[in-house]
Structure 1
Amino acid sequence: QGAHSACGRKQNFVCGYHGWTYNLEGTCTRILDESDWKGVLNDSCTRLNEIKVDTWGGWIWINMDPECEPLRDYLEPAAGLLDQFEFDKMRFRWRQWVVFDCNWKTALEAFMEPYHVEGTHPQLCEYGDFYAWSKAQGLHGNDGFDSKDPNDTSAATTTVTRAGKGPDARKMIAQMQEEFWDTIGASTTPTLVNAAKRLVDELPEGTPAHEVHEHWYESAKRDDAERGVIWPSPDPEQLAKAGLAWHIFPNMSFIPGLTFALGYRTRPYGNDPNKCIYESFALERFPEGQEPETEWVYAEPTEENWKKVLAQDFSNMAAVQKGMRNRGFRGTLPNPHQEQKITNFHRNLARYMGRGSPQLIGKSK
């Protein structure tokens, strides 16, 4: 719990073992019975090791390698496409974590593509089409809504949602926004939900889906402005390039929006390859002074704690881990169109680790 909840201001660090004390520059300022070393101790052997620290998107990024490349260089081209969302102006709505019974890569992959929606979240398919493109972006990757119809050009301009399936886009958008809020608690905001509920009163039946989307967003934007939440004004072409969701190598994935973001992080659980630490958080733009006070909460992986959609994802993860350790497991077959993010992730991870690179089907190892 301490690593998740640590906060405050200190002028020094004190080792809880022998009481050695270090200032904020890493210099050791107190060594108990230092004279016992007969004067051989010096700064080169007692100071703390330096690490690289930088910020982007409101997060603090740490690299233990003092010779690493600059953070901005590492994050490109993702950073250049994601700056428009202004994550640094968002704050936590909630943040939770759990120790889960699968490898960190297994957990991360569960949130790296919408290809699993039909099988895992079938209730969401009632409201929209989740067919997606997926692309490698250097170390990173993104995806966005696509269409199987070559004459459908909406995939080039639609980003956050394809809701509007069915005869009445007004009702479908409203229902999906309520579904997101009730079963995820993220990927939307109360402002967007309320603006969607008004669509049936503000627009006539038969209004084309793209016009419903446009009216809905403009209405929500005005509502937010009235309460002191100012939306960014991204270039539509850049917004389309950003797509729906991102993977930041190696262990972070999130769904960005103009006024919200849903994020996931996974990391190893010590030396146990069958467990991981899984974290999820919801970000949102709030009026200044009205940001909620939150902290990291440990939550067992139940629907009561995580709501329906994330609980559905959890239902797969431990079983997938067991399946991959079965002696009959022959390897995965990622979708070459919709899961390029995952393939790219493993290709880059293999390059770092020196083994395990994905192989083309039909090609010998």
Structure 2
Amino acid sequence: MNVQTKDGLLQDGAGYVVAADHYISPEFAKIEAEKLWYRVWQMACREEEIPNVGDFYTYDIVDQSIIVIRVATDEIKAYYNVCPHRGRTITEGCGHAARLFCKFHGWSWKLDGTIAKVVDRHEWPEESLTDDDLNLVPVKVGRWSGWVYINMDPDSISLEEHLAPAKAYLDPYDIGGMNYHWRKSTIFDCNWKVALEAFNEGYHVQTTHNQMLRYMDDWTQSYARGRHSHFGYWESMPMGSRSARLTDGKPTEDIRPGIRDYMEDMAATLNAGSSVQTVFAARRVEQEVPPGTPPMEVLAKFGQYIYENAASQGLQWPSITPEQMYAAGVDWHLFPNQIMLMGPTGLLGYRARPFGNDPDKCVWDVYSLQRYPEGQVPKVEHEWSQDHGDVDFWGLILTQDYQNMGQVQKGMKSKGFKGAKPNPRQEIAVINFHRSLDDFVENGYAQ
């Protein structure tokens, strides 16, 4: 049972335990494949990865492979990535095709999935090989905020229904107006949920990222919103405040230096969550806003300076109010496996996927989106690295997170581990995720 109050809290979160088998069991991984991945809406790629007609992206999830392809200027389709002749996959990675082509025996298909050519088709009796037998099998597609989603269940609810109520909180950010700043991937030696949950709560900051306590109060409030969830910070401890752990709970009187340090550190150690516009605005706040200005007025000036700097560079600013940003918080988990930390000028996104059917490994994707002036969107390469301690490649903050992944997976197999016990306030998102997962495995989208 998942009893959510109107304000997104859980009435019965205390004492909740996640069984270790949910992370380490091959049997549970098989259940997830059949009951979750084969019938849930899941993000496959961004539209900018397939900008032209004929561009395709190969999306792999557990033992299934899907072709996502742009078939017209404003139409994207998806098909199971398999030749109906002898079962060879048709595409690998990303690319462009005038026609989809099987490299085994040379069969080909038009972009709309209909059969174009069967080599020596005359050797089959006409009634034994119809076009319906040969067309690629379609997969349901949805689009939102620049992302392309797929669902292998043709009878599923719509993507819009799946995204509710999170969509209402996130639409004001105009994420569709952002483009890749960078994108990186790796393979972790842990379950996909272990990786995902490390970025689905702020409770770990006081230990894993304790260098950040000097400019941010790490105590967060987490909320459940249907199957989705998010967390944010208290208005009484705004950005730029020193952690209450360092001040005996006393508020920071001057948050201006903290805002500057926060933005400069995000730019230097994460290369996301900050931008040229936000760093410039933070420095301007410290120089131009008088000491003693109330914190909320300082933040208002910070937002004003970001807007002014963005406008001077031709950037389109979203129509979002401070009230909407506060309600949205800073970190969203879209069920089942997409996480984003968003702001008006950019977004840091994460995705975790099973590595085939192995419960001890996962594919990890992390990317930064930013706003760019028209005509100045950069070409971004998709980078991979298996060196999880490479600060130059990942940045300090991510390498700090990565050191926990394999160690958590190893620890969960201990005979001394009795199950995960999420914090009933700061880790509501983790509790809600597992309750939603259990419910979806049992009932799908049925309410």
Using structure 2 for the length normalisation, give the TM-score: 0.73
Contact 1:163–1:169 (Cα < 8 Å) also in 2: yes
* Paired residue type of 1:243: G
What is the distance in 2 between the residues matched to 1:12 and 1:351?
41
Residue matched to 2:427: 339
Matched, 1:325 2:413: yes
For structure 2, the residue ranges without an aligned partner over 5 or more in a row are 1-56, 60-91, 243-251
Matched, 1:163 2:254: no
RMSD of equivalent CA atoms? 1.8
SS at match of 1:229: coil
Contact 2:142–2:149 (Cα < 8 Å) also in 1: yes
Contact 1:130–1:162 (Cα < 8 Å) also in 2: no
What is the distance in 1 between the residues matched to 2:155 and 2:442?
20
Residue matched to 1:94: 182
Matched, 1:80 2:157: no
What is the aligned counterpart of 1:205 among 281, 291, 297? 291
Contact 1:84–1:234 (Cα < 8 Å) also in 2: yes
> What does the per-residue CA deviation read over 1:22-81, in whole Å, with 9 as the maximum and x for residues that have no partner?
112211221122233222101222111111112101011111222111111111111121
What is the distance in 1 between the residues matched to 2:383 and 2:108?
30
* Paired residue type of 2:143: T
What is the distance in 2 between the residues matched to 1:91 and 1:27?
32
What is the distance in 2 between the residues matched to 1:167 and 1:135?
28
Matched, 1:222 2:308: yes
Residue matched to 1:50: 138
What is the distance in 2 between the residues matched to 1:139 and 1:48?
32
- 172 and 237 in structure 1: CA distance in 2 versus 1, 3 angstrom threshold: closer
Give runs of aligned pairs for residues 136-155 of structure 1, distance below 5 A.
136-146=224-234, 154=235
Contact 2:215–2:259 (Cα < 8 Å) also in 1: yes
- 237 and 207 in structure 1: CA distance in 2 versus 1, 3 angstrom threshold: closer
Using structure 1 for the length normalisation, give the TM-score: 0.89
What is the distance in 2 between the residues matched to 1:238 and 1:217?
13
Contact 1:164–1:209 (Cα < 8 Å) also in 2: no
Q: Percent identity, aligned pairs only?
A: 40
CA displacement at 1:216 relative to structure 2: 1.5
* Paired residue type of 1:97: S
What is the distance in 1 between the residues matched to 2:313 and 2:144?
27
Residue matched to 1:23: 110
Matched, 1:123 2:123: no
SS at match of 2:360: strand
SS at match of 2:274: coil
Matched, 1:258 2:335: no
> What does the per-residue CA deviation read over 1:91-147, in whole Å, with 9 as the maximum and x for residues that have no partner?
11111000111111100001001111001100011112121111111111111113x
What is the distance in 2 between the residues matched to 1:60 and 1:298?
22
Contact 2:58–2:94 (Cα < 8 Å) also in 1: no
Contact 2:340–2:350 (Cα < 8 Å) also in 1: yes
For structure 1, the residue ranges without an aligned partner over 5 or more in a row are 147-153, 356-365
* Paired residue type of 1:257: G
Aligned length: 343
What is the distance in 1 between the residues matched to 2:139 and 2:190?
30
* Paired residue type of 1:218: Q
